[in-house]
Amino acid sequence: MQGAILSGEDLSKIFSTLVLIVVAVGASAVLWIGVNLLFNQVRTSWTRFNALAGYAVGFLLLLLLQGNRLLKPHGPDADSITRLGELLWTPLLGALVFSALAVILANNDDRAQRLWIASGSGLLLGGFIGIRLAEDARPELEVLPLLLSTVAIAGISAGIALLRRRAPAPAALIGGALGWLIGGFGVPELGSGSAVESAIAAVVPGLAIGARIGLGKNADMVGRARIDAKSRGAIFLVPALFFVTVSLIAPTLITIWLSLKDEDSVDLVWFENYGSVFTDINSFDVGDWTNIFTSLLFVLGVLVGLGGLAIGLVLRKRTGDGFSAGGPAFAPLMIAMVMIVFGVLSVLRGTIMNNLWWVFTVTVFSTGLGLAIAVLADRAKLESVAKSIIFMPMAISLVGASIIWRLVYVARDTSKSQTGLMNAVWVELGRWSTGSGIPTVLGTVLVWVLVALGVASISRSLTSRTYDKIPLRALATIVLLWIAYRFTFDGIGGFRTNSAGETVPDTIFFVQDQPFNNVWLMVILIWIQTGFAMVIMSAAIKAVPTELIEAAKVDGATESQVFWRVTLPQIRTTIGVVVTTLIVLVMKVYDIVKVVTNGNFGSQVLANDMFEEAFLFSNTGVGAALAVILFASVLPVMVLNIRRMQREA
Amino acid sequence: MKSRLLKLLALLFAFTLIAAACGDDDDDTTTGNDTTDDMDDGDMDDMDDMDDDGHDDDMDDDGHDHDDDMDDMDDMDDMATSLTVTGPERDESEAGAIQEVLGAWGDEHGIEVTYLGSADWEAEINVQVEGGNPPDISIFPQPGKLADFARDGHVVPLNDEAAAATAANWSEAWTVFGNVDGVQYGVPVKADLKSLVWYQPARFAANGYEVPETYDEFAALVDQIAADGNRPLCVGIESGQATGWPFTDWVEDMVLRQHGPDVYDQWVAHDIPFNDERIVSTMQTVLDLWTEDNVFASSGSIAATAFQDNGQPLVDGDCFMHRQASFFSAFMPEGTSFGDGEGEVNVFYFPDINGDRPVLGAGTLAAAFNDNDATMALLAYLSTPDYAEARQISQATRKGGGATLSGFLSAAQGQDPSVYQPLEQSFLDVLATAAIVRFDGSDLMPADVGAGTFWTEGTSAVNGDITAQEAADRIEASWPQ
């Protein structure tokens, strides 16, 4: 930690690491090239290929067994030279035996003989290895699990083979061998069995694998060509599969396993952890669901939605097209959806509901704003500058952005001047609307001018007969009217009347006031992700063939018609990709909540909860259960996304 | 084609580099730990070396073997040559002072001691322990956590010398916090005095207020200041991950005052439920005290105000009193001087109700993850007044020297009081004369509660989202079975 000068120890460590890297890279490369060379022999000299492959398999198998001390050593007193010799000659011997067997099989086309040779030697080799197994590796066989796992895995293998329209018997043999091995060595404690038991445990798989090899007929030229072709895929795939298994599949399975165990990962508690997640009032609190119907947002949302529905129904009767995207009913219905979801999710509380709220809000607003900006900026002046500015937040880390926004949201004691941007504006607005100076007069004039503009835009729509624009403009004008009324008569903004009847400033606690503090946190992610959505969507819009747009314009389509009817259908798949990507990203939201509220004030989300349970409270079980819930809820979207990408490719 | 191959190779190279770097990591911090292992199965390891040389496809194993070889050479005797100490204190002044003092001890004994302070100590120590890669010594701010680790067998008991040194240097009121089921695991290294109220004597005098002697006087003073149109208290409980802890301190101090040390002990040990009506009523007392008229919260609301931000308003005169621990001197604005003069800040004892003068304390305890001789020798040193004095001097110098307070306090017996400033000496007097000392209860409770729901549900109650009863019910429900 201290001092930048490298000591001799450090240097030697660096050197040994470098040597290690060179050796590791070299060995991996040699291994990989060697396997390729080996399979080059398949077409040209089948016998040599079999000899080499048998040699390699035998060598590796026995090296694994001997190297892990699973085979009986010379005894505890043997010196290291003897042991080193043992480590060399056992694999060599095995390699020669396997090699010889492979050569015999490669040159024998008689099916009966092949079966006898292969299964016989499988039996012998299995028995030999079983008897030679070290004492601490001998299993004490338990009949039921052994048979169960053998039958189950053999059955599954045969079933899969049948589904793939292959012969079930060979697959069943391999599956049976695997099942027997797992049932024999996987279930009971090792080290307590006898030599006979370990022989039984090893003989059966040996026999089964031998029989499987014997059942297959010696590959003819066509078969060899197929082996050659298929092996290339496998050779390229295996390293990747290995790393995916080690770094992804194994941790996933282990996490699922841990989620079924108690907090110390000792006893199996099955689904108790999941149960505790859903019974914990902090993660799932829907007790107040009746309050939904009294929530202002919900009621207003339903009203707006009904209005939109009515417009749509009337239009469908008249023109046959009531609910198309961009039509008059579209905007009210969208706004109603957002309001209703906000109304519902501000009443149903808890970590899980918060995550749903995050996913809905950030996805809808990032996609919507991104699309809007991409469309509006398209072919506009200074397009690249505008887009760069919108895109810039993407370059800020989530933690950095959270700190910035926390400062924006900061409230200070009302006797002090506000330093947070939002509260400064809010409190100043309160001063204007309740004061009597020039700003108040100007403000009053301004809000009423805005209302007048709104009314003017509606009347223009009426005179120019563009009725489809009226609903949105009317909604906006109503909101403006309400603001203007409040500004003029009650006042609007950060103020309140204290007990003495004086008007004093009042701040909003953006981060502390439940439940809408969640929305203010979401704004941070929307701010960041809109740039992402915009860039992707902008590229898609630019990829729409200009012929289509020109053709539509020649046919008399307006700009908005071109967008809704031509551009939008063309970029639909891109929107899908953006939406699914955002859902997956938002589901995992962690940094923002961690930095701004740390899950306090009802803003907890799954990822932060998982971290706290697993790493602060050492409840590994509950933490793992939360991780699995998170994983399971992201999975369908991931699958959808990947399938869509595959379809497009 | 060629450049692609090169890129591929470069990628492979980079990947191996990372893998190798990760694989090599674990002998840095656990030298002391490895020693015993190596002694036990040294022969076996040698065998492994031989074995591994035989096959060349398992590179990671080889990497480890090199390390083991080095350890074998380093640790020929049972004395580790390097020790790693971790802890939650990571301010330059605190961590720097610890490193300086421990480093000096290490130089004397030919041992390289490294102190690593981390703001995320709680999460990290769990990960390190579960990963089988703990430091040699860690400094625990929570005896509850230490007890958890002791019962799980992660930390080791003190050896005889270290235990004797601890018993000789600290009174039983303090050593008991490092005692788990009758076995001494922890060495107290730092003491904090929590039952203090910070105030400006000159402003009290100017307004005709007097330092309250009883809690009733304190409550009356609060009402009087509020009636005079001023804000009596500064309160803020925001503290990042630990938001809510100042509230728990208030509640603990009040439980101690209202219901006495016996109920306090039962409450902390969960012999009475958390939502016992006495505890709920105490929580309500605190919440009732924290009204809008009584409290100045510089960020508008108590839950939003960082606990560190209460020093400035106290000095500026936005509030008159701030109940906070002795270490709060570190959070007073720069240049604040301590005393009874104009603009100076002083403390008074948070008054009691029953005249039994209970004191809420806190502190840190060092405990070891292995019983290497060097580890135990360092623990024994940590318990001594020599360590406390050296750290106090170093930390005070780092804070600026002169009359500045270091923020450090130790209750080790036999310290030279002259290393402390007058105010700090008065803390020591309070500690020395207190009949009843109780450790910060949230630090004694299981982490799920003490570093979890007590903080979060308490914050919700302070924020007005739930009532004291609801908060207590939820905390009780979260208590691990």
- Of B62, B296, B304, nearest to A511 by CB-CB distance is B304
Mean pLDDT in residue range A230-259? 89
Mean pLDDT in residue range A153-164? 90
Cβ(B63)–Cβ(B20) under 8 Å? Answer: yes
User: Which residues in chain B are contacts of A33 at CB distance < 8 A?
Assistant: none
Cβ(A622)–Cβ(A276) under 8 Å? Answer: yes
Q: Is A28 exposed, middle or buried (0-12, 13-18, 19+ CB in 10 A)?
A: middle
User: Which residues in chain B are contacts of A611 at CB distance < 8 A?
Assistant: 123
Predicted pLDDT of residue A618: 81
Contacts of A256 (CB under 8 A, 6+ apart): A624, A628
Query: How many CB pairs lie under 8 A apart between chains A and B?
Result: 129
Write out the DSSP string of A463-488: HHT-GGGHHHHHHHHHHHHHHHHIII
Q: How far is B134 from chain A (nearest CA, A)?
A: 15
Query: For residues A544 and A120, what is the distance between their CA atoms, to the nearest angstrom?
Result: 67
Record: contact A20-B51, CB cut-off 8 A: no
Name residue B113's beta-bridge partners: B83
DSSP β-ladder status, B358-368 and B436-439: parallel
Name residue B366's beta-bridge partners: B139, B187
Report CA B148 to chain centroid distance, whole Å.
16
Query: For residues A144 and A152, what is the distance between their CA atoms, to the nearest angstrom?
Result: 12
Write out the DSSP string of B153-208: T-SB---HHHHHHHHHHS-HHHHGGGEETTEE--EEEEEEE-SEEEE-HHHHHHTT
Q: Is the per-residue pLDDT at A39 higher than 60?
A: yes
Predicted pLDDT of residue B107: 93
Cβ(A263)–Cβ(A619) under 8 Å? Answer: yes
Record: contact A617-B46, CB cut-off 8 A: no
Q: Look up residue A202 and give its two tokens.
A: 């090893």
Record: contact B240-A602, CB cut-off 8 A: no
Using alpha carbons only, what angle is made at residue A158 by residues A157 and A162, rounded to the nearest 5 degrees?
Answer: 120
Q: Is A296 exposed, middle or buried (0-12, 13-18, 19+ CB in 10 A)?
A: exposed
Q: How far is B469 from chain A (nearest CA, A)?
A: 15
Record: contact A617-B451, CB cut-off 8 A: yes
User: Which residues in chain A are contacts of B66 at CB distance < 8 A?
Assistant: 16, 20
- Of A599, A615, A617, nearest to B127 by CB-CB distance is A615
Cβ(B429)–Cβ(B347) under 8 Å? Answer: no
Mutate which of B11, B51, B62, B449 to disrupt the A interface (most A C-beta within 10 Å)? B51
| CB environment A569-593: b (16+ within 10 A), e (fewer) | eebeebbebbbbbbbbbbbbbebbb
Q: How many CB atoms lie within 10 A of CB A167?
A: 11
Contacts of A239 (CB under 8 A, 6+ apart): A32
Predicted pLDDT of residue A166: 83
Q: Is the peptide bond before A515 cis (omega within 30 degrees of 0)?
A: yes
Return mean pLDDT, chain A. 86
State which of A7-11, B64-68, B75-79 shows the largest mean pLDDT: A7-11
Q: Which residue of B has its CA nearest to A3?
A: B114
Q: Number of C-alpha atoms within 13 angstroms, CB side, residue A369?
A: 18
Angle between helices A8-44 and A221-244 (to 10 degrees): 160
Report CA B473 to chain centroid distance, whole Å.
27
The residue type at B452: G
Q: What pTM value is reported for the model?
A: 0.77
Query: For residues B168 and A241, what is the distance between their CA atoms, to the nearest angstrom?
Result: 61
Q: Look up residue B208 and give its two tokens.
A: 């005709």
Query: For residues A169 and A228, what is the distance between their CA atoms, to the nearest angstrom?
Result: 24
- Window B:46-85, CB contacts with A under 8 Å: 46-47, 50-51, 53-57, 59, 62-63, 66, 70
**Confidence band (pLDDT; 50, 70, 90) for B6?**
low
**Confidence band (pLDDT; 50, 70, 90) for A3?**
very low
User: Which residues in chain A are contacts of B16 at CB distance < 8 A?
Assistant: 21, 24-25, 28
Over residues B155-173, the pLDDT tens digits come to 999 999 999 999 999 988 8
Over residues B161-207, the pLDDT tens digits come to 999 999 999 988 888 889 998 999 999 999 889 999 999 999 999 99
ipTM at complex level: 0.74
Q: Is the per-residue pLDDT at B136 higher than 90?
A: yes
**Confidence band (pLDDT; 50, 70, 90) for B23?**
very low
User: Which residues in chain B are contacts of A28 at CB distance < 8 A?
Assistant: 12, 16
- A544 or A9: which leads in pLDDT: A544
The answer, for A20 touching chain B at a CB cutoff of 8 Å, is yes
**To which H or E segment does residue A520 belong?**
helix A517-542
Cβ(B195)–Cβ(B358) under 8 Å? Answer: yes
The residue type at A490: D
Mean pLDDT in residue range B300-327? 90
- Of the candidates B445, B468, B446, the one whose C-alpha atom is nearest the C-alpha of residue B457 is B468
Query: For residues A29 and A156, what is the distance between their CA atoms, to the nearest angstrom?
Result: 36
SS3 of A64, please?
Answer: helix
Predicted pLDDT of residue A187: 61
- Of the candidates B285, B279, B230, B290, the one whose C-alpha atom is nearest the C-alpha of residue B255 is B279
Query: Phi first, then psi: what are they for A492, rounded to 5°?
Result: -140, 150
Q: Which residue of B has its CA nearest to A508?
A: B300
Q: Look up residue B470 and give its two tokens.
A: 């609801």
Q: How far is A411 from chain B (nearest CA, A)?
A: 5
Record: contact A511-B126, CB cut-off 8 A: no
- Of A63, A264, A598, nearest to B240 by CB-CB distance is A598
Q: Is B99 exposed, middle or buried (0-12, 13-18, 19+ CB in 10 A)?
A: buried
Name residue B190's beta-bridge partners: B364
- A391 or A439: which leads in pLDDT: A391
Cβ(B306)–Cβ(B299) under 8 Å? Answer: yes
Predicted pLDDT of residue A647: 80
Q: What is the phi-psi region of residue B357: left when phi exceeds 0, alpha when psi lies from -120 to 50, beta otherwise?
A: left
Record: contact B47-A616, CB cut-off 8 A: no
Q: Which residue of A has its CA nearest to B21?
A: A17
Q: Is the per-residue pLDDT at B210 higher than 50?
A: yes
- B214 or B79: which leads in pLDDT: B214
Predicted pLDDT of residue A189: 65
- Of B47, B59, B451, nearest to A27 by CB-CB distance is B59
Query: For residues A276 and A626, what is the distance between their CA atoms, to the nearest angstrom?
Result: 10
DSSP β-ladder status, B295-296 and B346-349: unpaired
User: Which residues in chain A are contacts of B70 at CB distance < 8 A?
Assistant: 9
- Of A9, A598, A618, nearest to B241 by CB-CB distance is A598
Predicted pLDDT of residue A328: 79
- Of B17, B296, B300, nearest to A509 by CB-CB distance is B300
Mean pLDDT in residue range A183-193? 72
Query: For residues B427 and B432, what is the distance between their CA atoms, to the nearest angstrom?
Result: 9
- Of A416, A512, A618, nearest to B126 by CB-CB distance is A618
Q: How far is A16 from chain B (nearest CA, A)?
A: 8
Q: How far is CA B137 from CA B112, B149, B218, in A?
A: 13, 13, 43
The answer, for A504 touching chain B at a CB cutoff of 8 Å, is no
Query: For residues B372 and A108, what is the distance between their CA atoms, to the nearest angstrom?
Result: 66
Query: For residues A624 and A259, what is the distance between their CA atoms, to the nearest angstrom?
Result: 5
Q: Is the per-residue pLDDT at B340 higher than 50?
A: yes
**Confidence band (pLDDT; 50, 70, 90) for B398?**
confident
The answer, for B335 touching chain A at a CB cutoff of 8 Å, is no
Record: contact A412-B47, CB cut-off 8 A: no
User: Which residues in chain B are contacts of A615 at CB distance < 8 A?
Assistant: 123, 126-127
Predicted pLDDT of residue A443: 85
Predicted pLDDT of residue B50: 36
Q: Which residue reads 């007969």 in tokens?
A: A465
Q: Look up residue B409 and give its two tokens.
A: 């306090």
Contacts of A608 (CB under 8 A, 6+ apart): A590, A593, A594, A598, A599
The answer, for A599 touching chain B at a CB cutoff of 8 Å, is yes
Q: Is the per-residue pLDDT at A506 higher than 70?
A: yes
Q: Is the per-residue pLDDT at B374 higher than 80?
A: yes
- Window B:134-163, CB contacts with A under 8 Å: 148, 152
Q: Is the per-residue pLDDT at A49 higher than 60?
A: yes
Give, as one character, the DSSP assignment of residue B338: B
Q: Which residue of A has its CA nearest to B23?
A: A17
Q: Is the per-residue pLDDT at A109 higher than 50?
A: yes
Q: How far is CA A264 from CA A139, A269, A614, in A?
A: 28, 11, 10
Report CA B64 to chain centroid distance, whole Å.
35
Q: Which residue of B has its CA nearest to A279?
A: B477
Query: For residues B441 and B248, what is the distance between their CA atoms, to the nearest angstrom?
Result: 8
Q: Is the per-residue pLDDT at A487 higher than 90?
A: no
Q: Look up residue B321 and give its two tokens.
A: 């009193």
Query: For residues A202 and A125, what is the distance between their CA atoms, to the nearest angstrom?
Result: 9
Record: contact A281-B299, CB cut-off 8 A: no
SS3 of A329, please?
Answer: coil
Record: contact A601-B459, CB cut-off 8 A: yes
Predicted pLDDT of residue A412: 86
SS3 of B109, please?
Answer: helix
Record: contact A616-B299, CB cut-off 8 A: no
Record: contact B16-A25, CB cut-off 8 A: yes
Q: Is the per-residue pLDDT at A338 higher than 90?
A: yes
Predicted pLDDT of residue B73: 38
User: Which residues in chain B are contacts of A616 at CB distance < 8 A?
Assistant: 122-123, 126, 447, 451-452
Give, as one character, the DSSP assignment of residue A287: T
List helix spans (H) across A378-469: 383-391, 398-409, 421-434, 438-464
- B31 or A312: which leads in pLDDT: A312
Report CA A449 to chain centroid distance, whole Å.
49
**Confidence band (pLDDT; 50, 70, 90) for A188?**
low
Over residues A117-131, the pLDDT tens digits come to 888 998 888 888 888
- Window B:171-230, CB contacts with A under 8 Å: none
Contacts of A641 (CB under 8 A, 6+ apart): A577, A580, A581, A584
Over residues A562-600, the pLDDT tens digits come to 888 899 999 988 998 899 999 999 999 999 999 998 888
Mean pLDDT in residue range B263-285? 94
Q: What is the phi-psi region of residue A412: left when phi exceeds 0, alpha when psi lies from -120 to 50, beta otherwise?
A: beta
Q: Is the per-residue pLDDT at A175 higher than 60?
A: yes
Record: contact A80-B66, CB cut-off 8 A: no
Cβ(A509)–Cβ(A423) under 8 Å? Answer: no
Q: Is the per-residue pLDDT at A546 higher than 60?
A: yes
Query: For residues B68 and B478, what is the distance between their CA atoms, to the nearest angstrom?
Result: 44
Q: How far is A338 from chain B (nearest CA, A)?
A: 25
Predicted pLDDT of residue A4: 47
Mean pLDDT in residue range A483-503? 81
